[in-house]
Amino acid sequence: MPANPTPPRRLIAHLDMDAFYASCELLRYPDLRGEPVVIGGGRRHQPEPQPDGTRRYARLADYAGRGVVTTATYAARAFGVHSAMGLMKAAALAPQAVLLPTDFDLYKRCSRAFKAAVAELAPVIEDRGIDEIYIDLTEVPGAQDTIGHDPLGGARALAREIKNNVQRATGLTCSIGVTPNKLLSKLASELDKPDGLTVLTLDEIPTRIWPLPVRKLNGIGPKAGAKLAGLGLETLGQLAQCEPEWLIERFGQSYGAWLHRAAWGRDERPLVTDSEPVSMSRETTFDRDLHAVRDRSQLSAIFTELCRRVAEDLQRKGYVGRTVGIKLRFDDFKIVTRDLTLPANTADFASIRQAAGQCLKRVDLRRRLRLLGVRVGNLHRADLPELPSRRSTRAPARPGRPMPKPAATTMLVAREPGLFDDLPDETAN
DNA sequence: TCTGGGGTCCTAGGACCC
DNA sequence: TCTGGGGTCCTAGGACCC
């Protein structure tokens, strides 16, 4: 056996499309270039073609509803508008901004096109959703080359080529970060947005990474960010100076240790180039909060429709699942989930509807509902043989947790057996 | 004028099995 | 009447991400 040669240093890129949905829209509405444009909301605000060949766009000021901003152009961001902001709030900041509905089919086409353009140059790609990917450049010819005095010149040149290829193929710009791992590349791709290219080595962590707020780190969200702030830790540099034991005491073994490693830019995770979906779901927020009894027929129709769409998604993509679940968001924003594991895989509408109905019976429905969702998990590809489950051959699942027994309003719930479950008119076909 | 929709992963307790 | 431990599955909730 020959001795193992030292493995080449890892060169990992993170590529993030700039204001992706909005940029896709600008490809077909070039007259909006440079304008504040916001993507979000339902289908009620399609641009209307005018007799003179121009288009009439909806303005944010005209919007009424519960939608949020999905993406905003940089011109709109200048007004303080950003993703996940309520559209009504965005309208207060930038009433004159153009509002476009989301068109996922368009974005999916652009997504496939940019990923294909990257794959021509670097085929090892981890999908991270519609608008971003990780790329392993380690083994790409030329990526490890020194150019002039720049030991990362080859990597830099390759990243530039990737950006050019994406631009040629889609007309869209992206930002790329190249570092020794995914965690740092994700941070690096943001440092020079839009149309950015940032190559970082480990020596640059103190100067380039440590000044950043902790929230920039992928894995520190609102909760952890607030807790860290409460401990006086605002930047990654401050986090890095903490003793691991001190962090573990406050954040638990796993997360505490990770926080420390992450602040030092340590991350050995490989790219995941083949992943199978774990679950598929459909959910909807109502225009107004609905009550299980008073709005029963409306809820029943929505519930059934969600089940139908999940079944359709599963069948179209060729998956079956064994766990059916529901999700409810009440008017106070509290979320409740229930699920039920079936004896066998299914992608069948009637089975999903039936199981989801069983789940619904275990929820106290006195509060009004804001959102309803249906999910199928435990997915397997439909064309693969079903693995025998030890569980499924045994006794039937024990009954779910009983519904809490409310006092005065019990009658309201109890006299509607099954609530909006199992209505023959909704489930007939 | 509050706060979408589609996901993943983790934790934790109890059931159940060996 | 008292004593195990390990492992997996199921369920519910929650954090986080795009």
A356-390 residue pLDDT tens: 999 999 999 999 999 999 999 999 999 987 765 55
- As a rounded value in angstroms, the CA-to-C1' distance for A55 and B9 is 44
% of residues, chain A, pLDDT over 70: 89
Confidence of residue A292 (pLDDT cuts 50, 70, 90): very high
pLDDT of A398:
47
pLDDT of A7:
80
- As a rounded value in angstroms, the CA-to-C1' distance for A54 and C16 is 42
On whether the CB atoms of residues A174 and A17 are closer than 8 A, the answer is: yes
pLDDT of A428:
36
pLDDT of A421:
54
% of residues, chain A, pLDDT over 90: 86
d(CA A355, CA A339): 8
Give the angle A21-A372-A67 at the CA atoms, nearest 5°. Answer: 35
Between these two residues, A388 and A181, which has the higher pLDDT value? A181
Q: What is the average per-residue pLDDT within A172-178?
A: 98
pLDDT of A402:
53
Confidence of residue A42 (pLDDT cuts 50, 70, 90): confident
- As a rounded value in angstroms, the CA-to-C1' distance for A340 and B15 is 15
Nearest residue (Cα to C1') for B6?
A281
A274 is annotated as contributing to ligand binding: no
pLDDT score of A216 more than 60:
yes
pLDDT score of A419 more than 80:
no
On whether the CB atoms of residues A398 and A358 are closer than 8 A, the answer is: no
Q: Would the Cβ of A160 be found within 7 angstroms of any atom in strand B?
A: no
d(CA A244, CA A257): 6
pLDDT score of A116 more than 60:
yes
Cβ neighbours of A245 (radius 10 Å): 11
For chain A, count helices (H), then strands (E).
Answer: 14, 16
Token reading at A147: 């150019």
pLDDT score of A151 more than 80:
yes
pLDDT of A121:
98
SS3 A410: helix
pLDDT score of A147 more than 70:
yes
Q: What is the average per-residue pLDDT within A65-92?
A: 95
Nucleotide with C1' nearest the A215 CA: C16
Within A 122-161, residues with CB less than 7 Å from strand C: 128-132
Within A 212-271, residues with CB less than 7 Å from strand B: 252, 254-255
Q: Would the Cβ of A43 be found within 7 angstroms of any atom in strand B?
A: no
The single-letter DSSP state of residue A26 is H
DSSP structure string for A95-115? TTSEEE---HHHHHHHHHHHH
Cβ neighbours of A217 (radius 10 Å): 21
Q: Would the Cβ of A313 be found within 7 angstroms of any atom in strand B?
A: yes
Delineate the domains of chain A, giving CATH numbers in brackets: 17-105 (3.40.1170.60), 210-263 (1.10.150.20), 279-427 (3.30.1490.100)
Q: What is the average per-residue pLDDT within A26-53?
A: 93
- As a rounded value in angstroms, the CA-to-C1' distance for A221 and C15 is 7
Within A 188-247, residues with CB less than 7 Å from strand C: 217-225
Nucleotide with C1' nearest the A285 CA: B4
- As a rounded value in angstroms, the CA-to-C1' distance for A6 and B6 is 41
pLDDT score of A50 more than 80:
yes
Q: What is the average per-residue pLDDT within A114-121?
A: 98
Pinpoint the alpha helices (H) of A62-175: 74-77, 87-93, 104-119, 153-170
**Catalytic positions of A, written as ranges:** 132
Bases of chain B within 7 A of a CB of the protein: 1-12, 15-17
Burial class (CB in 10 A: 0-12, 13-18, 19+), A86: middle
Q: What is the average per-residue pLDDT within A22-47?
A: 93
Handedness of CA A13, A19, A23, A24 (dihedral sign): positive
User: Which helix (H) or strand (E) segment is A178 a member of?
Assistant: strand A174-179
- Short-list A121, A105, A125, A129, CA closest to A168: A121
SS3 A53: coil
d(CA A76, CA A32): 12
Nucleotide with C1' nearest the A16 CA: C18
pLDDT score of A157 more than 60:
yes
* Lowest-pLDDT range of A11-25, A68-82, A173-187, A413-427: A413-427
Instruction: Provide, for chain A, the percentages of residues in helix, strand and coil under a 3-state DSSP scheme, each rounded to the nearest 5.
Output: 35, 20, 40
pLDDT of A114:
98
Averaged pLDDT of chain A = 91
Q: Would the Cβ of A340 be found within 7 angstroms of any atom in strand C?
A: yes
pLDDT of A424:
39
pLDDT of A427:
36
Q: What is the average per-residue pLDDT within A113-132?
A: 98
